[in-house]
Chain A
């Protein structure tokens, strides 16, 4: 006599989920095999469907400099999350909080100056 295994429920759940996902796809596939009109061609099977012909390859490379750009933007974006509550509570804060925030801002600005001097902001 085996003991009740709580993981059995997860297995049953997974099987049901897989069946739920696969059954419509399988039905559609069988339906298409049996009943769809056999009229296909290169235009009809083309991936792009806006009437225009697609040009080139979708697997193009992006410059890695873009990611540095993105990271710098993200840092200043996150900074506003700290700045907004600080600005709302500004009048009730002691001088120490103000100095701490200024130091935080200057650290970020220093990073920006460093990146600028490295030439990251020049899109060449």
Chain B
């Protein structure tokens, strides 16, 4: 799983030791194991995807199996923001502000066609065409709305992403990276559009190739 070489101990020796009942691990692995199994999402729904998110937490789908049943009503206590639903331009500043208020390390799942791209309202004047224009999104889920299984899959993808993170290097979590910004600029609700319409540090407009 981990592309980084095992620091200090040879992979073959590690496997040989585990056959003898001696389990070796890295501090980062224990750290990530703890982090990925107690991700507390922010209790925050924007539209119909939120209903699927609620269903995911209930007994039939049971997100509690992954340690994420504690939906926090305050951004101060949340690790994960599930952007579930259409982000209107009027709501986008609040979403960014809530993300800013979450403690580090924090992750974002953009759930549903609206949250990742604007979805069926992409041509509309009042819908943000993807929350990844303002905050860094870790996992995108397509679907309108995605089934609870899709959210669980996204959550497992996020868990894999967390467990692959290292203490140093480019793959380290945000809170260990001094260069990562502590806050993202909150857009203002301007006369025609959000000002600025996107954050170029996290999102670049797709390059357009013209074929003559």
Let me know if B180 and A46 touch, CB within 8 A.
no
Q: For the complex, count residues of B whose C-beta is within 8 A of A.
A: 19
A-B contact count (CB 8 A): 40
Chain B positions within 8 Å of A40 at CB level: 182
Let me know if A37 and B104 touch, CB within 8 A.
yes
A44 and B183 in contact, given A49-B75, A49-B101 (Cβ under 8 angstroms): yes
Does B97 touch A at the CB level, under 8 Å? yes
Does B100 touch A at the CB level, under 8 Å? yes
Does B50 touch A at the CB level, under 8 Å? no
Does B194 touch A at the CB level, under 8 Å? no
Chain A interface size band reads 10 to 19
Option from B94, B95, B174, B182 in Cβ contact (under 8 Å) with A44 = B182
Q: How far is the CA of A46 from the CA of B94 in the complex (A)?
A: 13
Identify which of residues 71-114 in chain B touch chain A, using a CB-to-CB cut-off of 8 Å: 74-76, 94-95, 97-98, 100-101, 103-105
Measured CB to CB, the closest approach of chain A to B188, in angstroms, equals: 11
Q: How far is the CA of A49 from the CA of B97 in the complex (A)?
A: 9
User: In chain A, what residue has the closest Cβ to B74?
Assistant: A49
Measured CB to CB, the closest approach of chain A to B206, in angstroms, equals: 29
Q: How far is the CA of A43 from the CA of B74 in the complex (A)?
A: 14
Identify which of residues 31-86 in chain B touch chain A, using a CB-to-CB cut-off of 8 Å: 74-76
Chain B positions within 8 Å of A53 at CB level: 97
Measured CB to CB, the closest approach of chain B to A55, in angstroms, equals: 14
Measured CB to CB, the closest approach of chain A to B134, in angstroms, equals: 13
Does A61 touch B at the CB level, under 8 Å? no
User: In chain A, what residue has the closest Cβ to B176?
Assistant: A37
Let me know if B104 and A43 touch, CB within 8 A.
no
Chain B positions within 8 Å of A56 at CB level: none
Q: How far is the CA of A59 from the CA of B139 in the complex (A)?
A: 43
Proximity bits, A24-49, B CB within 8 Å = 1, else 0: 00000000000011011111101001
User: In chain A, what residue has the closest Cβ to B98?
Assistant: A51
Q: How far is the CA of A113 from the CA of B180 in the complex (A)?
A: 68
Measured CB to CB, the closest approach of chain B to A5, in angstroms, equals: 46
A37 and B105 in contact, given A44-B182, A49-B75, A49-B76 (Cβ under 8 angstroms): yes
Does A52 touch B at the CB level, under 8 Å? yes
22 A-B pairs whose Cβ atoms sit less than 8 Å apart in the complex = A36-B103, A37-B103, A37-B104, A37-B105, A37-B176, A39-B175, A41-B182, A41-B183, A42-B183, A43-B100, A43-B101, A43-B183, A43-B186, A44-B103, A44-B182, A46-B101, A49-B101, A51-B75, A51-B95, A51-B97, A51-B98, A51-B101
10 closest residue pairs by CB, A with B: A37-B175, A51-B94, A39-B182, A43-B100, A41-B183, A37-B104, A51-B98, A41-B182, A51-B97, A39-B104
Using CB atoms and an 8 Å cutoff, list the residues of chain B in contact with chain A. 74-76, 94-95, 97-98, 100-101, 103-105, 174-176, 180, 182-183, 186
Extra contacts, 6 of them, besides A37-B103, A46-B101 (Cβ < 8 A), are: A37-B105, A39-B180, A43-B97, A44-B183, A49-B75, A53-B97
